[in-house]
Structure 1
Amino acid sequence: MDCIHVKGIRAYGYTGYLPEEQVLGQWFEVDVKLWLDLSPAAKSDAIADTVDYRRTIALVQNLIKTSKFALIERLVSKIADTILQECEQLTQVQVTLSKPAAPIPDFDGKISIEVTRTKPDM
């Protein structure tokens, strides 16, 4: 199966376990892998035969900006499920959500969660 990679989608959102995360917000970064058959688009050269990743980027950014969950596990799952529902050509999606500035004392790393979703009828 073919795959489109979209990396580095950034948006400011208000998901987080701590109250200040839901009030002050923070930056999130998302990478997406979209599995589908690209041979129709390769033959037709038509965007209708593939996934318009501009829509995927806008969808991810909108979900980050408008969602207010306690856990990033819920946010990343919501993103994956929505992409899979919105893009009928897709057979599978993988979403990696990173929280670059986790509010953990003495920790300067980032937290990432990766989920993979497949259409049930595939």
Structure 2
Amino acid sequence: MGIIKVENIRVFAHHGCLNEETIIGSDYRVDLEVKCNLKTSAKSDKLSDTVDYVFLNKVVIEEMSIPSKLLETVAQRILNRFFNEDKLISKATVSVSKINPPIGGDVEMVTIKLTEKRKNWVYIG
């Protein structure tokens, strides 16, 4: 088993419960960690034997472009795509952070973090 991390994916998106947030948009950070078998790819040196981090980044960019009220919703959509589209992923963790959230204080970011395992994973479409 191994871990692939893609960290500090920076995205401008339009998420939030306030109308202004969805109109104006703001900066976000997404961090990923996926567990998968890396022994095969370490021996074969073939991209098809591993989880492609270009794919991971693409899913994040696509799902972050769909406005949602809650960061939890966005993170769950990302996890759904990972498990539906890459059978090599056995566990995944997605953290979505809103930079400078409008919460009336000096707060650098707020973050939600979701983790799913394939054996317990059920798609809810």
Q: TM bucket by the smaller chain?
A: over 0.9
User: Secondary structure in 1 aligned to 2:6?
Assistant: strand
1:121–1:43 distance in 2 versus 1, CA, 3 Å:
farther
Aligned equivalent of 1:7: 7
What displacement does 1:109 show? 2.3
Work out whether 1:17 is the aligned partner of 2:22: no
- Alignment-derived partner of residue 100 in structure 1: 99
Aligned residues: 121
Q: Does 1:27 align with 2:27?
A: yes
Other-structure match for 1:68: 67
- Separation of aligned partners in 2, 1:2 and 1:89: 11
The SS at the match of 1:120 is helix
Distance 1:27 1:44 in 2: 39
CA drift of 1:108 comes to 2.5
Q: TM-score, normalised by structure 1?
A: 0.92
Cα RMSD for the two superposed structures: 1.4
Deviations along 1:10-39, whole A, 9 cap, x unmatched? 111111111111111111110000100000
CA distance in 2, matches of 1:103, 1:48: 42
Where structure 2 has 5 or more consecutive residues not aligned to the other structure, the ranges are none
Structure 1 gap ranges (5+): none
CA shift digits 1:26-72 (9 cap, x unpaired): 1111000010000000110000000110111011011111x111111
Moved more, 84-93 or 38-47: 84-93
In the TM superposition, what is the alpha-carbon distance from 1:106 to its structure 2 partner?
2.0
Distance 1:113 1:9 in 2: 15
Query: Where do 4+ consecutive residues of structure 1 move more than 4 Å?
Result: none
- What is the CA distance between 1:120 and its match in structure 2? 2.9
Q: Identity rate of aligned residues, in percent?
A: 28
Q: Give, as a single letter, the amino acid of the residue that structure 1 aligns with 2:40.
A: P
Contact 1:81 1:117 in 2 (8 A): no
Residue identity matched to 1:108: V
